Structure formats: structure tokens, C-alpha cells
Amino acid sequence: MKKFKLVQIVLAFLLYIFLFVFIINEVADVLDFTFLIENKSMLINGAMLTIGMSIASFISSTIVGFIIFLMTESKIVFLKTIANIYKEIIMGTPLLVLVFVVVYIIGVAIGIRNKMMLGFLSLTFYMSPYMTNVFEGAYKSIDSSQFMVMDFYGFNLYQRYRYIILPQMIRPIIPGLINNLSGIIKGTSILSTIAISEIFYATSILSNKSYRYIEGYFVLWMVYLIITIPLSRLAKYLSRQENY
């Protein structure tokens, strides 16, 4: 039975490899990656910028997402409403549109012209409600009976979060946070629209110059997959780990 399962997995992989080779073969007569190798420093800088921007946005959106989560759980209706409106607006806006809103409306309104900062803010705004959802999911996984015990013993708000709620939220949020990091990495490609020279932008420039779009976007695709597939596998592995 185990052997049969393995055979099926191998067959699935082979099917993808076949499709992959077939498509590449159909679209490219002669593949030439020389222009990418010659400009590898530009690609590496682009990749580094993508990673840097992703990590910074990940940290900031996690912090903002957590604050929004605390607001949604607050008993103060004003804070709850502010948080819910924020979530609805951001989650209803495509990232591309949000980037333009941040650059041409919010950026102008608050006097920020720095593209990197605006790109960073766009990603932070965009991902923070998704981070909030991760926190909310973990919070809801805590059994209601524990809140009854906390009420009975008179835990204050700080004690509830510090000793009971947050320690139990850490494990369930990790897979969700990793998935969101993966989303941020892919989302950075949208920043090319405001000429931030991350990996997508760098590759596009090189492809435009040499007219070798297939090679350029193929390599770009591979770079994204090399980063995101291990993250996705890690998230799946961690989500299978038993909670307390």
C-alpha cells in the first residue's frame, strides 16, 4: 500500500516535469541565459532587495496586524469598529490598487516621496489584516473554559495575555505567519510598478533590453518558487505538529 502511494507521488512529479519540459520546448527555439549571467549582480541586488523588503514588511505587518487584532478583541466598541473598518477596506482592495493609493494619495497627503518607504507602507497595510486573521484564528483555538478559569481567579488583561493567551497562540500562528511571508514575497513583485528595483523589476529591465522575455521570466519564476515552496512546506510541517 505504501509502495503504491509512492508510485503515485512519483507519477505526479513526472507529469509536472513532462508538462514543464513540453511548454518550455514549445515556446523557446533556443534558450540563452547569457544576458542574465552577465548582469547577475543586478539580479542579486534585486533578490536581496526583495528579501529585505519582504522581511521588513513581514515584521511591520505582524506588529500592525497584532495591534489590529487587539483592537478587534477589545471591549471598547470605538476601537473594535476602527479595526473592522480598516480590515474591510484593505481586504477589499487589490494590492496593485493599494500601491497606487498609497503612492499617489496617501504619500502625497502625508508628504512622503520616498518610493521604498511607500512600497514598504503598501505591503504593511496590505498584509496586516491577513496577519490579524492569523492571530484571530489562534485566539479562537483557545478553549472557552480557560477564559472561565481566568475570570474566576481574577486575571487582569495583562496577565491573561502574558501568561495564558499569548503562550498558547505562538504555535498555531507560526504556519499562518509563514504563509503570509510567502504572500509578501510574491507581493513585492507589484512594487515594480512604482520602479522599485526588486527582482521582478530588475529582471523585466534586463528582458526588455535583450528581448529575451522567456528566459527572464522563467528564471524569475524559479527564484520565487525556490523561496516560497520551502516556506510552504515548512508551514505545512509546523501545522501538523501537535499543539499542547
Partner 1 sequence: MKIYLKEVSKSYDKKVIDNIDLNLEGYDAVAIIGKSGCGKSTLLRLMTGIEMPDKGRIIVNDKELNKSNLIEYQDNIGIVFQKHNLFPHLTLLQNITLILEKIKKLPKKEAKEKAINLLDNLHLKDQMNKRPRFVSGGQAQRASIARALATDPEVVFMDEPTAALDPILTKEVLDSVIGLRNLGTKFVFVTHEIYFVRKFADYIIFMDEGKIVEQGTPNILDNPQTKRLQLFLENEGR
116 binding partner 1? (CB under 8 A): no
Q: Which helix (H) or strand (E) is 172 found in, with range? A: helix 166-187
Segment lying near partner 1 (by CB under 8 A), choices 8-16, 20-28, 65-73, 154-162: 154-162
User: Which residues, 165 to 204, sit near partner 1 by CB under 8 A?
Assistant: 167-168
Segment lying near partner 1 (by CB under 8 A), choices 109-117, 146-154, 181-189, 200-208: 146-154
Strand residues in 115-239 grouped as ranges (E): none
153 binding partner 1? (CB under 8 A): yes
163 binding partner 1? (CB under 8 A): yes
Looking up cell 504563509 gives: 179
159 binding partner 1? (CB under 8 A): yes
Euclidean distance between CA atoms 199 and 182, whole angstroms: 15
> Do 51 and 224 contact (CB within 8 A), yes or no?
no
Euclidean distance between CA atoms 11 and 48, whole angstroms: 36
> Do 124 and 134 contact (CB within 8 A), yes or no?
no
Q: At what angle do helices 199-210 and 40-73 cross, to 10 degrees?
A: 150
Q: Smallest distance from the beta carbon of 174 to partner 1, in angstroms?
A: 14
Segment lying near partner 1 (by CB under 8 A), choices 35-43, 56-64, 111-119, 157-165: 157-165
Residues engaged in binding partner 1 (CB under 8 A): 143, 145-146, 148-149, 151-155, 159, 163-164, 167-168, 243-244
